[in-house]
A and B are shown apart, each in its own frame.
Chain A
Amino acid sequence: MSAASPARRLTAHAAAEITATLRRSESLLLTLGIPVVLLVFFSEVHLLPTGPGKPVRFLAPGILALAIMGTAMVNLSIATGFERGYGVLKRLGATPLGRPALLGAKVLAVLVVEVLQAVVLVPVAMALGWRPTAGGVAASIGLVLLATAGFGGLGLLLAGVLRPEVNLAASNGLWLVLLLVSGMLAPLSKLPGWMAGAARALPAAALADGLHAAVGLGSAVPGRSWVVLAVWAVAAPLAAAATFRWE
């Protein structure tokens, strides 16, 4: 007869989103499994050109950036794409949930999973010898929020226009490309100039660079990181909103 309050609808749906993510083995692999494995393996096996000092000093901020990208872009995109394909989004359209609460629930779920990722990854990195710079935490949160908006917009852009199966491949493929050309596993300076130049305009490198500076080196976050992330944070959600198909 009447709808529950917006806050109740939003939290109920967010709880369902979070539960679904934690129950899907492929989501767990993407959001926690792969980041933990890469972090531990490349910290212990010195294969990557991570510069002077322990590899974990370079890898920890990069892997945190990778984890954020997996949750905000790939996991959100694949789940939303299949929901669209299965008619779940259409069915929700005939409930009092409402699109603002649905979107809010998805954002909230992404943020909660990101916190869980930090709760797992930071202690693992510290056990491997990483000493984060406490003073950079506030800036890191700002970077992560901007990056989440940008990655989330990209994920929804793909989910809203591609068939679910195509989106599955496209999202994972994009994740792999961004993982390689982002300074997450190795410094951008190791890439050929043209590749590094292109990478610097993408949100993955901007987030990784920013986190390296903020919690890795304890230096000021480069202005370029803020600008690139802010542009993506506005442009990608707008593009998604303009092209999203609910059915």
Chain B
Amino acid sequence: MPAQATAQATDPVIDPVIDCRDLVVRYGDRVAVDNLTLRAEGGRVLALLGPNGAGKTSTVETFEGYRRPTSGSVRVLGLDPAADHRRLMPRIGVMLQRGGIYPTATPRQVLSLFSRYYEQPEDPGALLDLVGLAAAARTPWRRLSGGEQQRLSLALALVGRPDVAFLDEPTAGVDPEGRMAIRAAVRALRDRGVCVLLTTHELAEAEHLADDIRIIDRGRLVAAGTLEELSASGGGPSVRFRAPSGLDRPALAGALGVPPSAISEPSPGEYRVAVEASAARVAAVADWLARNGVAISDLRAGAASLEEAYLALTGGGEDR
């Protein structure tokens, strides 16, 4: 993909915090991560974006030292996560995709226990305030809502004042209020110079949280760049709408006076008309659809969004 070239242009003088080259992770015959190369720096948030099963968790768990690469090399803060596990652990913060806490333990108990593993930990009480869990500090894990559990997991990732934070689907299943708290905490980490690597299958989260995005699909890197770069790669200005699949595209093209190739259907029921995004064009599209009795939803005009780039790159982004 064209955007990939721009993303790898990292200043060679600065050592990246995460340096992953040609990473392959295989489980038996199944290839989970296929020749992935990426770098991440301090003070930036990098999102691994991709559908479920794309290989995001396998990648992050290799960075965390849980699995060894089948081939390729991974360095985090210059250390091999598996071989130098003991030296690396004090310097990273980890948020697993789910679980990891005893159901009867309370946020206060778990945080204060974890804090004792570190020489100069954050104050557990202050962390509970930061993630908005002060009121639930004495509630057993099993009675916390999904969002509260995720926020506790985030607090546990922060308690050791890490240089690198790995957050696996940090906002999955989190209510809007919890998302705000998590986003604020991620921004605070970045502003402190921490290298944040997070995974998500939700575009909106990547757009909200990330400075840099790597889109992966079936274990392969399919696009890389900043949010702006990737959005631009989704195509020029256009009018886009959703309608039942199987629309008569040549007829629509004729009515609009554009060549048939200007109308595409990137995924079933998603239409894109490559024309300038003017009110007149929108009206013309809507008029033709109305006259032909086509039910539409989500009519939009303007520059392409990250969503379009993502859908185009991952073949619709459907869960697998």
**Residues on A close to B: CB < 8 A?**
1-4, 8-9, 12-13, 16, 20, 23-24, 82-83, 86-88, 90-91, 93-98
Contacts and interface: CB of A to CB of B under 8 A. Distances in A.
A98 B87 CA distance: 10
A181 B102 CA distance: 34
A97 B117 contact: yes
Given A12-B116, A86-B99, A1 B163 contact: yes
A12 B119 contact: no
Contacts of B100: 86-88, 90-91
Contact of A1 (B86, B105, B113, B160): B160
Nearest to A85: B99
Interface in B180-230: none
Given A1-B118, A3-B89, A87 B99 contact: yes
B56 interface: no
11 contacts: A1-B119, A1-B161, A3-B117, A8-B116, A82-B102, A86-B99, A94-B89, A95-B160, A96-B86, A96-B90, A97-B117
Q: Which of B92, B102, B109 has the most CB of A within 10 A?
A: B102
Interface string B3-17: 000000000000000
A4 B119 CA distance: 4
B161 A93 contact: no
Nearest to B156: A91
A181 B213 CA distance: 64
B141 to A, nearest CB: 9
Contacts of B116: 4, 8-9, 12-13
B96 interface: yes
A93 B117 contact: no
B64 A94 contact: yes
Nearest to A23: B104
B109 A16 contact: yes
A33 B246 CA distance: 72
B89 A95 contact: yes
Contacts of A4: 116-119
B102 A96 contact: no
A4 to B, nearest CB: 5
B118 to A, nearest CB: 6
Given A20-B102, A93-B65, A96-B90, 7 more contacts: A2-B91, A4-B118, A20-B104, A24-B104, A93-B66, A94-B96, A95-B114
Contacts of A98: 86, 89
Contacts of A9: 116-117
B89 A91 contact: no
B143 interface: no
Contacts of B104: 20, 23-24
Nearest to A16: B113
B96 A87 contact: yes
Interface string B108-133: 01000110111110000000000000
Interface string B129-167: 000000000000000000000000000100011110000
Contact of A86 (B102, B109, B117, B118): B102
A23 B113 CA distance: 16
